[in-house]
Structure 1
Amino acid sequence: MWKKVIAAVLLISLLTVAIVQAVNKQTKEPEPASQTAASQKGPAVGSMAPDFELKTLTGETVKLSNLKGKKVMLNFWATWCPPCKAEMPDMEKFHQEVGDEVTILAVNIDPQLDVQAFVDEYKITFPIPLDTEDAVNEEYKVLSIPTTYFIDSKGIMQHKFVGSMKYKDMKEQVGKLK
């Protein structure tokens, strides 16, 4: 007899929990689709670029907000990425041409790999900040690499380029910056 009573109590308890959870799921308001999409896309073009501070491959510290007054090309890349490898020679050529007029920050998202060997192989001379905690990559919601943000001298993101860039793309996008 006691076994039947205990079994009935357990069964009623489980049904109650299931009903409460089902009701709670139905009463929760879903996040608007536009808000969900925006949160997955990262910072919007036309907004202030999120600030960050990272150590470069050479040990220097670079802070984005310290670059106000300069045009910035903020690139996210990895050593194993074929499109990243394809765009690096053009980025170096562009860097050599523009000099101090534009700051190129090529944020590496796989610093556990041999970034120095990559830099040596491609003879890169612009700064390579290392995102060791994956914090900047997360902040900018980079889903595909390479991804490049073009930031004007006021710190406003003016364009986002996803994929491998050619020299002409870099020149065109930087030419639009103020």
Structure 2
Amino acid sequence: MVKKAIGAGILAGLVLFAIFQQFYSADEPLAIEATNATTGINAGMVAPNFTLKNLAGEEINLKDYRGKKVMLNFWATWCPPCKEEMPAMEKFYKENSKEVEILAVNLDPQNNVKGFVEENELTFPILLDEEGSTQQTYSVISIPTTLIIDEQGLILKKHIGSMTIEKMEELMK
């Protein structure tokens, strides 16, 4: 009898805790400034350099893009929000490629990335993070994650989640 009462009390406490969490949890922002991040890369920091291969097997180095704004996007072929933002990224790239470079770092190169790119008619550079080292360096936990890097290589902003073309234009201001 005592065990049942203790079990019921614990169960009631857990239910109350779950209800409290539901009503008092803050909504996660759609976009955050990197300075609000508690770990990893912060706004004002120089973006860590990396060298990754593109789909043609050529090595691409982030430092080669100094002098141009860069939208650094981390994504995967299996990720629904990543798939959702790809047409907007392509449109943004076609309209802004003289001022902004998009570097889309794929995190699942074991999948058919080339087929995905061809099917979606993507023309911006796709880089393959085969070892996961760039994802780790940039502390990317959730995808898609996009960082805006200025012409001097400084990280300006960080956006977690899918983006519309309007959100891309807003982040690049």
| Structure 1: 4+ residue segments shifted above 4 A | none
Report the equivalent of 2:167. 169
Report the equivalent of 1:85. 83
Report the equivalent of 1:126. 124
Output aligned runs, 1:1-178, within 5 Å: 38=38, 41-175=39-173
CA-CA distance at 1:98 after TM superposition: 0.6
Report the equivalent of 1:6. none
In 1, Cα distance between the equivalents of 2:43 and 2:162? 19
The root-mean-square deviation of aligned C-alpha atoms, in Å, is 1.0
CA-CA distance at 1:67 after TM superposition: 0.9
CA-CA distance at 1:64 after TM superposition: 0.7
Amino acid corresponding to residue 115 of structure 1 in structure 2:
V
CA-CA distance at 1:100 after TM superposition: 2.4
TM-score between both structures, scaled by the size of structure 1: 0.75
CA-CA distance at 1:134 after TM superposition: 0.3
Bigger radius of gyration = 1
Higher helix fraction: Structure 1 or Structure 2? 1
Aligned residue pairs total: 137
In 2, Cα distance between the equivalents of 1:162 and 1:121? 25
TM-score between both structures, scaled by the size of structure 2: 0.77
In 2, Cα distance between the equivalents of 1:42 and 1:62? 23
Q: What whole-Å deviation, never above 9, does each CA across 1:4-46 have from its counterpart, x for those lacking one?
A: xxxxxxxxxxxxxxxxxxxxxxxxxxxxxxxxx84xx311111
What stretches of structure 1 of length at least 5 have no aligned partner? 1-36
SS in 1 for 2:127: coil
